[in-house]
């Protein structure tokens, strides 16, 4: 099911392509308002906000109906949700962002400037964790360094991609886990990513709730299992995101 609200699409030009901001949600009633507060000004700059809900049992969908441009309801699964959002979005640039991220006020302008009329291009932002401490600051630095070395970004970093390139690589993988990693690898095989040095601030609740070192070990273990060929559907049973 899809619900579209104002503003209506406006014409796109090569120098001012429409951006579709695609946000997957599931029971995010306590966080969705804060996120939408920071993107309303972007809507006035021709950023289409597409929210894809995976069957929330709270009032997430009720809160967003007048504050997004397109509301889609699907079965749960982040990869499948983002794929559905991209299929319905109208933008020439697709921008995938998590709801627990805080975007810089002019983040959409950075995206447009970095693409700079290129048809085949993609990129990501640096990430900053909040709240933080010395150990989480080390995690943050390591995350940003790893992406620069590997050219494999994660969902926390706000991956953006031109529609032409997105379709060229087959779109968002419809898998249960590691969809961002698989998409990044497909994209980097075509062209090197653009790194925006401005940071997206993302919640550190996952690390703080379960322990920083324990969470790091778990994430690297999942990455290793994925690398050696363990199916994402099996990995998803080991991964339990924080509520």
The tens digit of pLDDT for each residue in 147-191 reads 999 999 998 999 999 999 999 999 999 887 789 999 999 999 999
pLDDT at 123: 98
| Alpha-carbon gap, residue 242 to 4, rounded angstroms | 30
pLDDT at 195: 97
Q: List the structure tokens of 212.
A: 């920083």
| Alpha-carbon gap, residue 219 to 86, rounded angstroms | 27
pLDDT at 236: 65
Q: List the structure tokens of 202.
A: 């993302």
pLDDT at 235: 67
| Alpha-carbon gap, residue 13 to 191, rounded angstroms | 23
The DSSP annotation for 148-165 comes to: HHH----GGG--EEEHHH
Rounded to two decimals, what is the model's pTM? 0.84
User: Do residues 96 and 155 lie in contact, with contact meaning Cβ atoms separated by under 8 Å?
Assistant: yes
The tens digit of pLDDT for each residue in 128-146 reads 988 777 888 888 998 899 9
Of 67, 212, 28, give the one whose Cα is nearest residue 132: 212
Per-residue confidence in pLDDT tens, the chain, 243 aa: 444 433 333 345 556 899 999 999 999 999 999 999 999 999 999 999 999 999 999 999 999 988 999 999 999 988 999 999 999 999 999 999 999 899 999 999 999 999 998 999 999 999 998 877 788 888 899 889 999 999 999 989 999 999 999 999 999 998 877 899 999 999 999 999 999 999 999 887 766 666 667 777 777 777 677 677 767 677 666 665 444
Q: Edge-to-edge, what's the strand order for the sheet holding 70-73?
A: 2-4, 70-73, 47-53, 19-25, 93-96, 160-162, 122-130, 194-203, 101-102
Q: Is the dihedral of CA 36, 1, 96, 161 positive or negative?
A: negative
């Amino acid at each position: 099911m899809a619900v579209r609200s104002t503003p209506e699409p406006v014409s796109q030009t090569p120098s001012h392509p429409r951006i579709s901001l695609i946000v997957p949600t599931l029971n995010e009633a306590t966080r969705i308002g804060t996120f939408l507060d920071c993107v309303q000004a972007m809507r006035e700059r021709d950023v289409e906000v597409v929210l894809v809900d995976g069957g929330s049992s709270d009032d997430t969908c009720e809160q967003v109906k007048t504050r997004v441009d397109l509301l889609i309801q699907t079965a749960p699964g982040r990869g499948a949700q983002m794929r559905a959002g991209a299929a319905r979005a109208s933008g020439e640039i697709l921008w995938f962002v998590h709801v627990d991220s805080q975007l810089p006020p002019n983040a959409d302008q950075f995206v447009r400037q970095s693409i700079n009329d290129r048809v085949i291009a993609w990129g990501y932002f640096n990430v900053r964790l909040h709240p933080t401490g010395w150990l989480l600051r080390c995690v943050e630095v390591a995350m940003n360094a790893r992406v620069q070395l590997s050219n494999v970004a994660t969902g926390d970093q706000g991956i953006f991609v031109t529609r032409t390139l997105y379709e060229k690589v087959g779109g968002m993988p419809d898998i249960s886990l590691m969809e961002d990693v698989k998409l990044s690898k497909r994209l980097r095989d075509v062209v090197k990513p653009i790194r925006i040095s401005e940071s997206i601030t993302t919640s550190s609740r996952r690390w703080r709730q379960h322990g920083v070192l324990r969470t790091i070990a778990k994430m690297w273990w999942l990455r290793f299992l994925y690398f050696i060929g363990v199916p994402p559907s099996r990995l998803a049973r080991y991964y339990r995101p924080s509520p």
